[in-house]
Chain A
Amino acid sequence: MLRLLHIEFIKAFNFKALWYLFLIYILALGIILFGVETFINDIIGEGGRNLPITLPKMSLYAFPLVWHNISYLAGFFKVFPAIMIIILVTNEYSYKTIKQQVISGLSRNELFFAKISLIFATSAIMGLLVGIFGFILGFLNTETIVFNVVIAKSQFILVYMLEVFAYGSFGFLIATLVKRSGFAIGVLLLWAYIAEPIIAYKLLGDWGDFLPLRSIGNLIRIPNSQLMKIFGIEFQEYISSGDLYIALAYTLIFNLIVWIIYKRTDL
């Protein structure tokens, strides 16, 4: 597996477009993470003034809340790693290197698991990055640091990695079906931001929550903030095993379809 990952690393590391995407991702994430707090605190400040009770001034990024809040916000950017994966997968088709690798001696299974290791590594890197952001913001915004409090709820970072992995697997599927990078990215964006929301809206009841990308997004639900408490809304503050199973099932299905395609088709 490490050998396969190394092969993917050589291809990815030297591909410039990927670096630009990664930099944009870091930049966008940084701006949002550091920007949102000021924004929300401002609103709370404004709202608090007209309220009979005073809201406790509590940062979004204090330990341990930071883990939930930050992984939720980072969830909006999981389309970046998915696009990176799409580019790397479709490259193999446009350069025909998917064929060459088999000619050189890679088995169909290795071909598939090389890409799985790539998606895994991407998720790990993204998770690590968000984790680092979390630590920085946490230490900056927590007055007394207690170890147990710091690591409480840090499982959200792990779940964030799963979220990126699942979303990346969806990208992998589209890339394998469509084979051309621009087209595949278009399909992903179209599905994620237009088609699925419309279908979810048309579906009765909670069925929309079972759509692929929405159920992946449901892994980390919108966190409670002081702002929401103003309106008396309470959200789920934990990872439910039901959400976990649905997302895992989708991940499995996406990759299973790709695996069958990898096994069956002429290259």
Chain B
Amino acid sequence: MEILKINKLTKHYGKLTAVDKLELSIDKGSIYGILGPNGSGKTTTLGMILNVIRPSSGSFTWFADSDLNVNRQKIGAIIETPIFYPYLSGQKNLEIFCKIKKIGYADIDRVLNIVELYERRKDAFKTYSLGMKQRLAIAGALLGEPEVLILDEPTNGLDPQGIAEIRNLIINIAKNGITIILASHLLDEVQKVCSHVMILKKGKKLIAGRVDDILREPDIFEVKVEETEKLRELILNNSDLNLIQEHQGLFVFSYKEHSNGKDLNQFLIENGLVASHLQKQEKSLESYFLNIIEHA
């Protein structure tokens, strides 16, 4: 089932186009990562689909339903920084959330326990540490067991333990079939939790799809040999090998899909080459991301 459909969504700020004719479709149950360098339009996109920022043009539809207001209570969200009434306690702030979402106060204890803020619930928000504020924001997003969670840099300001906790929380929540849209700069985190990603640059979509599909590409190896001429020739004459870079005797090239170092080593020996260095590059969203951002 389609949870969110975005059609040619665009936002101009004067001459700057923060989001440029964005198309996206998100299915129920997916964990959708939104990646992009600073200022690429992640927050602006999320702001628009949350009714906070008015789109310049284009449209979006939640739950395949045209009435936005009816469905808003089913969406929990955090955008960038935690926003609360500083003079109100965590508890009172969440009571306002409950009223907005038309639910009883009973759920407050549950979410405060999840983010481990129950003991501090009576203290004013302004007395919380940055990480505690962020936790309260997460608690607010979890109130009322939403069907969709939108998280814009949810681990901002958290300690390593807090980051790990949020990661596990996201994975656990996703198990219940909740759809999650996650914007983050922690690519490692995104790779660990997301089923899908979209990469933005200057408001434009570079690529979107399943993480597995995006990362399914030939493996990349680094090799050093004595006889560089011979290796270069071998690479050029073999369609299984694709030279990416050669630098001071270090060859970086791709070798056919799903191979391992052993295959390659065997292949080199058969061709009369002995490698003094052979390493498979880690296949990561991070290297993919850096590569696509740089070359787009």
Chain A residues within CB distance 8 Å of chain B: 3, 6-7, 10-11, 14-16, 91, 95-97, 99-108, 264-267
Contacts and interface: CB of A to CB of B under 8 A. Distances in A.
A16 B87 contact: yes
16 contacts: A3-B102, A10-B92, A10-B99, A15-B87, A99-B79, A100-B83, A101-B96, A101-B100, A102-B52, A103-B50, A105-B72, A105-B101, A106-B100, A107-B51, A107-B72, A266-B54
A169 B97 CA distance: 26
Contact of B84 (A6, A15, A95, A108): A95
A10 B88 contact: yes
A103 B85 contact: no
B41 interface: no
A109 to B, nearest CB: 8
Given A15-B87, A105-B100, A266 B52 contact: yes
B101 A104 contact: yes
Contact of A105 (B53, B73, B83, B85): B73
A15 B87 CA distance: 7
B85 A104 contact: no
Interface string B41-59: 0000001001111100000
Nearest to B140: A104
B83 A97 contact: yes
Nearest to B150: A103
Contact of A99 (B69, B73, B83, B97): B83
B106 to A, nearest CB: 16
B78, B88, B101 interface centre (most CB from chain A within 10 Å): B88
Contacts of A15: 87
Q: Chain B interface secondary structure, helix, strand, loop or mixed?
A: mixed
A104 B84 CA distance: 11
Contact of A95 (B68, B73, B79, B85): B85
A190 to B, nearest CB: 28
B53 A107 contact: no
A239 to B, nearest CB: 37
Highest count of chain B CB atoms <10 Å: which of A6, A104, A106, A107: A104
Interface residues of B, number: 29
Contacts of B53: 266-267
A14 B88 contact: yes
Nearest to A266: B53
B35 to A, nearest CB: 21
Interface in B97-116: 97, 99-102
Nearest to B51: A102
B75 interface: yes
A114 to B, nearest CB: 10
Interface in B215-241: none
B142 to A, nearest CB: 12
A10 B51 contact: no
B52 A14 contact: no
A10 B96 contact: yes
A133 to B, nearest CB: 30
A125 B250 CA distance: 81
B72 A14 contact: no
A103 to B, nearest CB: 5
B88 A11 contact: yes
B117 interface: no
A99 B52 contact: yes
Contact of A11 (B50, B51, B85): B85
Given A7-B96, A96-B83, A267-B52, 5 more contacts: A6-B99, A7-B99, A95-B83, A102-B50, A103-B78
A7 B87 CA distance: 15
